[in-house]
Structures are given as structure tokens and as C-alpha cells.
Structure 1
Amino acid sequence: MNEQQAIDRAEQIIGEAVDGMSPRPTLERMGNAPVGACLARDDHGPDERVQVTLIYKLTGVPGAQAQNLVRQARDAWLKKGYTYNTSGEVDWAGAFPTVYMRTEPDDFWMDAVTGVVDRAKGEGIASLKVTSPCFLPPGKASAGSAAADPAAFETAEADSPAARRALGHSSRIYDALGVGSVPPRTGEGLTTVRDEALAGVHHTWSTVPLSDEERTRAVARAETYFRGAGWNVRRLPAPEAAPALVAGHPEEHTVAQVAASPTGALRVAVTTPFDGPASADV
């Protein structure tokens, strides 16, 4: 796929949502640069891919029709065979009811959202967004071709103090999640990370694919573990079905992240500096 093909497909998906709408809205394009850096990669590796994002505001209809337009977009996409990214349950009484969906098999992600303008009158605004899969721009040979420090992702020695510390934390996170793991994929495992701000060990791994409910419960168990062990924990903004959190160890400056992956699994990443305590049981 190239940039124009991605834009054309995104426009087609928008059109599929709007063509049968009643009343028929006017599409107002939001933003001038639809092509940006790839945000879909979840293994923190170098990446020169890009992706297209198109956002349209639906105007020219009564504000009270905003929720109705979002429902119509959802129904049109379902008729095309597209699927929910979440359970499909939407809190239509909330401030910003949103439908998250994806196309199959080409994996464009889209959402239809409505926001309240005047709650007393039941009026709001609606918008549609479509995001393409990541793809390489012209002249790039592979998704891992970005110029980087040759040592940035070198294999780490598993018996070093930092590696033992990272593996120890990963083991305790695994126990807290309470779900199975899968063999390391490309980009996962134990690596040495070096850049201007950090020299340390990075360990990444993934769970088995989980249902929305299983992911939510597993992340809640991880959060309980982190807080009980004295980590500083912050929930990351994400759809309810794609929970994510980051935790920092206040003494050794280790950072751990647990986040939903596009595969339906949870992805765990632990990064610890070389100069932390030698014991893996802090």
C-alpha cells in the first residue's frame, strides 16, 4: 500500500458510513496533513513506517441528530462486514459516546463519535475518523531500517544484574496477570538499550490473546500488584477494551508497561538501568 491508496481506502470507508445517512450531513475535513508517523507498532523498535488518518466533522444537520448519525455510521459499517474493536456496548448517555470498529481483512481502524453541545436540548456534534495500517513510504526497504545506534537493541547477557532484575520483575508481573504467555515474537525478549537518556536492559513479552473482559481483569490484577509493591502507577488513556498502565519503581528507576496489543494480547515491557541494585528481589 502507498499513501494515495491508503487515502483512497479511508475515503471509501467514510463514504460507506455517510452515503445512506438521513438527514444527509456535509463532510468538513479536519486537519491538513493526513499522513503521519506510525503509531501502531507496540514493540518499541525503530520504525520508519507511516499511516493515514482522516477525520471528518458531520455538519449541516440539526444538533439533535448527532447521536443518530453515529448510530447510522455503525450500522452501515456492520452491514459491510466490519467488526467492533470493543464489545460494541456504548454508553449513549455519556458525554462522548463512541463506536470503535475495524475493517477486515485490510485492518483499517475507525471510530464514530458524538459529543454534547447542549445537554438540555439534547444537541451535539458528530465526527468520523479512519486510520490506516502502517506502511512504508517510497524508498524505504523494510520496517526496521531506521538509522539507530547499532547497540540500541543488542542481545543482553541474561546473567547480568540488570538482566536478572528485569527478568525478576517480568516474572512477578506474569504471576500478577494470572494468564498464559506465548513464545517471544520478533522484537521481543531481552535486549540492551542505549540512547542519550538511558543505558539498561529491556525485556518484552506477550500474553496469549484475551477477551476484552479477561484483559481488563488482568490489568486490574497487575495494577493491584504494582501498588501493593510500592510502585508509582498511572493509567494510560485508552478505550475500555484496551486497558494500559505504566508503573515506575521509585528506588531503582525501573519502568514497566502493560498494554493491550492489536493482537488481543497484553504486551509487557520492563526497562531497568544498568546501575540499579544487584538483587532481582527488591
Structure 2
Amino acid sequence: MIWLARLTCGTVLLLVTGCGIVGLGGEGMEETLGKKQAGERVDQHIEDAVAVLPESVRLERRGNLDSASCDDADDNGPNGRVTVSKKYRLRDLPAEENEEHAAALYEHWTGNGYTVLQDSRPDERYIWVEHEEGSFRMALRESSDVLSLTASSPCVWPDGTPHPD
């Protein structure tokens, strides 16, 4: 009888442990920032970057979409998450100073916890970086002598809490 009680207790313990693992869903099912908080962090990355540029810079918002589905994410995580991004043209900066502005942003990023993923200078003005804390990404690109700045979040759950399908 004692042996049976131990077996029953062991079985219950294993069932509870098994349910805990299944309930969490494994990789990618942890809580994240919510969409709103990710947007606030995107804004902060933009503000911090723009602060190293001349005061004359004017941000012109590009696109109306703030978030997009991460259902085909390259992190192999679960569906249902989104990424938050914002893109701006940097206006009122003389085109002949674009390389100086790119260099200033590069110095800002490399001195503040960003890893350079791609730097295509001098062939083209394109720098792509990822912040070491939180995996937020930013890019600077020149097109037709106008610089644009983009910031995006990693994949997050819209309300911060996993909701498996």
C-alpha cells in the first residue's frame, strides 16, 4: 500500500510537471513587452539617435503602419506576435553633410550598446545596427540625397502575454 501511494504521488508529480512544460509552450512563449511598450522603446531609440544630429533636423514620418505580423519571423518563434517599427525621413539637413551625419550616428550607436550588422559605406550610405539589450534594430539609409532612419522592435506579443493558437 505504501508503494502504491508513492507511485500515485510520483505520478501526480510527473503529471503536474508535464502540464507545466506544456502550459508554457516552450521556446518563444515567455512574456514580452506589449505592443505599446515596444512602440515607446522604438520612439526612445529614434529620439536618442536624432539627438546627435543638428537641431535643424526635422522628422517626416513615412508610412502609416506601426506594427506588422511576425508570423514568418526569422527567430522560429510562435505565430501571433508583432513587430513595431517607425520610419522617418530626416529633413532640413544639407545633402553635402550626409556622410558627417552617418558618421555621427555610427559613433553614437557603437558607443551605446549597438552591434553593427551591416555598414555599406563608402559605396552607399546604409548602416544597420541592433541594440545588445532588447534586440531593437535601427537603420540609416540614403536615397536621392535624403537620409531616412528606421527603428524596429523584436517580435512581441501584442499585450505582452503569450496566447498560443
* TM-score over 0.5 (shorter chain): yes
Percentage of identical aligned residues: 28
> Any residues of structure 2 matched to 1:96-111 within 5 Å, and which?
96-111=124-139
Q: Distance in 2 between matches of 1:36 and 1:83?
A: 24
Alignment-derived partner of residue 24 in structure 1: 56
Deviations 1:153-180 (A, max 9, x none): xxxxxxxxxxxxxxxxxxxxxxxxxxxx
Is the partner of 1:64 in helix, strand or coil? helix
Cα displacement string for residues 218-269 of structure 1 (whole angstroms, at most 9, x for unaligned residues): xxxxxxxxxxxxxxxxxxxxxxxxxxxxxxxxxxxxxxxxxxxxxxxxxxxx
Which residue is equivalent to 1:133? 154
For the pair 1:112 / 2:140, whether they are aligned, the reply is yes
Instruction: Give the Cα separation in 1 of the matches to 2:153 and 2:116.
Output: 16
Closer/same/farther in 2, CA of residues 105 and 45 from structure 1, 3 Å limit: closer
Label 1:39 to 1:18 Cα distance change in 2 as closer, same or farther (>3 A): farther
Say if 1:72 and 1:3 are closer, same or farther in 2 by CA, change over 3 A. same
Q: 1:22 deviation in Å?
A: 2.8
What SS does structure 2 have at the residue aligned with 1:136?
Answer: coil
Q: TM-score, normalised by structure 2?
A: 0.70
Work out whether residues 127 and 141 of structure 2, in 8 Å CA contact, stay in contact via their aligned partners in 1.
yes
- Contact 1:37-1:51 at 8 Å conserved across structures: yes
The counterpart of 1:6, out of the listed 38, 49, 63, is 38
Tell me how far 1:65 sits from its aligned partner.
2.0
Matching residue of 2:111: 79
Change (3 A) 1:23 1:71: farther
User: Given that residues 113 and 132 in structure 2 are in contact (C-alpha distance below 8 angstroms), is that contact kept between their aligned partners in structure 1?
Assistant: yes
TM-score normalised by length of structure 1: 0.43
Q: Does 1:70 align with 2:102?
A: yes
Answer whether contact 1:70 1:114 (CA < 8 A) is retained: no
Q: Is the 8 A contact 1:18 1:24 kept in 2?
A: no
* Cα distance, 1:40–1:110 mapped onto 2, change above 3 Å: farther
- Alignment partners' CA distance in 1, 2:41 and 2:137: 11
- Residue 134 of structure 2 aligns to a residue in which SS? coil
Structure 1 residue identity aligned to 2:35: E
Give the match's secondary structure for 1:138. Answer: coil
What pairs up with 1:1-282 in 2 under 5 angstroms?
1-22=33-54, 24-38=56-70, 41-42=73-74, 47-86=79-118, 88=119, 90-92=120-122, 94=123, 96-115=124-143, 117=144, 124-138=145-159, 141-142=162-163, 145-146=164-165
The C-alpha deviation readout for 1:122-173, integer Å capped at 9, x for no partner, is xx1101111101111239634xx23xxxxxxxxxxxxxxxxxxxxxxxxxxx
Q: Are the structure 2 counterparts of residues 140 and 82 from structure 1 closer, same or farther at C-alpha, using a change threshold of 3 Å?
A: closer
Evaluate the alpha carbon distance shift between residue 39 and residue 14 of structure 1 in structure 2; reply closer, same or farther with a 3 A threshold. farther
Counterpart residue type for residue 41 of structure 1 = A
- CA RMSD for the aligned pairs? 2.3
Structure 2, unaligned stretches of length 5 or more? Answer: 1-32
Conserved? CA contact 1:98–1:111, under 8 Å:
yes
Higher helix share: 2
* Contact map agreement 1:100 1:110 (CA 8 A) in 2: yes
Contact 2:35 2:159 in 1 (8 A): no
AA partner of residue 49 (structure 1) = R
